Amino acid sequence: MGVVALFARLPAHLLAFGCLAAINHVGANMTMNITSSAFDHNGSIPRVHTCEGKDISPPLSWSSAPAGTRSLVLIVDDPDAPDPAAPRMTWVHWVLYNLPANSTGLPEAVKTLPAGTLEGSNDWRRTGYGGPCPPIGRHRYFHKLYALDVVLPDLDKPTKKVLEQAMQGHIIAEAQLVGTYQKES
Tens-digit pLDDT profile for residues 31-90: 899 999 999 999 999 999 999 999 999 999 999 999 999 999 999 999 999 999 999 999
Find, among 117, 120, 119, 139, the residue nearest to 51 by Cα.
139
What is the spatial distance between Cα 185 and Cα 166, in angstroms, rounded to a whole number?
Answer: 39
pTM of this structure: 0.83
What is the spatial distance between Cα 174 and Cα 147, in angstroms, rounded to a whole number?
Answer: 6
What is the spatial distance between Cα 111 and Cα 133, in angstroms, rounded to a whole number?
Answer: 21
CATH, domain range 31-181: 3.90.280.10
Domain-wise residue ranges, the chain: 31-181
Cα 2 to Cα 5, 8, 28, 56, distances in angstroms: 5, 10, 16, 46
**Contact in structure between 176 and 143 (CB atoms under 8 Å):** yes
Tens-digit pLDDT profile for residues 84-107: 999 999 999 999 999 999 999 999
